[in-house]
Structure 1
């Protein structure tokens, strides 16, 4: 089951500093919204507010028109973080990590079978279920993080800069995996990046964030080929080759 994630006039403040300023944004059900902005623009703060890690100062975050539950397991909105090593418990095997995220009440044999299925889904050998994060490469750890996120059968997945800590040679494989998972599972995804060249590969729609505000949004092909805001044009000018089209090769 996929859902629409909506931000309505969401504001997040840290003391006197406003990180997110009255943001209204919608992640359509079964689609990918790319959220782009430079470091410090507020995009990661918005993501953390959606999964309950940061309390909004104002506004509402809704899932299919209802407030996102503040408690309960599994969470209907799951997040994949930038650094796959720090987000995985080094004392747990990857099988234990994935199984921990599953809904409660699943028998041990079914958990083992589901772990194997999820690892295959992210193109990891199920025989690696007994390995620890330190025994895996960065790209493999990020695959585990993706498997853990979908293990809870979320209605929305937030991917926060998930390729920026990886070698360039690995980034394309992870982006391909995100596209594959989105198609196979029909996921609603908020894909966050500072890089338009990355976002254009996975996103149906694009929103541009600057100093805590959304300054432009629309279909990916429209924003990437005919931007209306000067900041979006500056981001495009920073991309090698400049001529971007939606869902072309990275």
Structure 2
């Protein structure tokens, strides 16, 4: 595992005459073995920052470093792995679960070793290894997302980036997936950038949080500090949108975010 560091990262789209800055000079660190939450409204630039980290969005400026070195953009072995919001779209519908997970593994192992590793990974995310023979379309959304997590772990990454991994799931399943994230972090010492629009979810899984607004980090620090004594108006608005917290008067210069549900209660896995 290694520290993931964003240094003054900027991502722009459009032409030189009409550029749109999606990420504007963001600096953020994911320490080794910790979960850092990145929270903000849709359109704030969270997912664009994640896509830049894994090479799916071009950098206009700044650097993304892993263990002090630039993140490699080529080659089969990728030390950063991303779990996407929609689990079904991230899995090849024509490949079995076993094939999808095995495909992500580093080369150099035998067929029997790969099969055993697939079974170990499926058990690690609380799935019956027998499910490996199924196609993704036969699985529930919660099961598909567990497979996506297993697939990311199969690549033996140094950091996992989880982009809104519970927002497409039923509320009854969200809690079980969040509990899995906490369990994996505890057992594997997993380093993760956990992206969400839901401050209650970030509070449940992360030790540190960064708040993103219109492409910039407006506040960051330990979860307990930021949520107890928020310094920025936008952070206070996000906190006020969580049921059960004290309402905060909205600053006139900011859009008020839509209400975010509380962290779901864990139930049996699906």
Separation (CA, whole Å) in 1 of partners of 2:63 and 2:185? 26
Decide which of 123, 137, 140 is 2:140's aligned counterpart: 137
Separation (CA, whole Å) in 1 of partners of 2:264 and 2:133? 34
Give a deviation string over 1:143-168, Cα, whole Å, max 9, x none: 00000000000000000000000000
Is 2:223 the partner of 1:224? no
Aligned ranges for residues 109-148 of structure 1 at < 5 Å?
Answer: 109-148=112-151
Asked if 2 retains the 8 angstrom alpha-carbon contact of 1:201 and 1:249, the reply is: no
Q: SS where residue 121 of structure 2 aligns?
A: helix
TM-score, normalised by the number of residues in structure 2: 0.89
Rg comparison, structure with higher value: 2
The equivalent residue for 1:50 is 53
Asked if 2 retains the 8 angstrom alpha-carbon contact of 1:32 and 1:189, the reply is: yes
Separation (CA, whole Å) in 1 of partners of 2:183 and 2:264? 14
Separation (CA, whole Å) in 2 of partners of 1:144 and 1:51? 19
TM-score, normalised by the number of residues in structure 1: 0.96
The equivalent residue for 1:39 is 42
| Structure 2 runs not aligned, ≥5 long | 247-262, 266-270
Separation (CA, whole Å) in 2 of partners of 1:74 and 1:146? 17
Moved over 3 A (4+): none
Give a deviation string over 1:87-129, Cα, whole Å, max 9, x none: 1000000000000000001100000000000000000000110
Is 2:11 the partner of 1:8? no
Q: SS where residue 28 of structure 2 aligns?
A: strand
C-alpha RMSD over aligned residues: 1.0
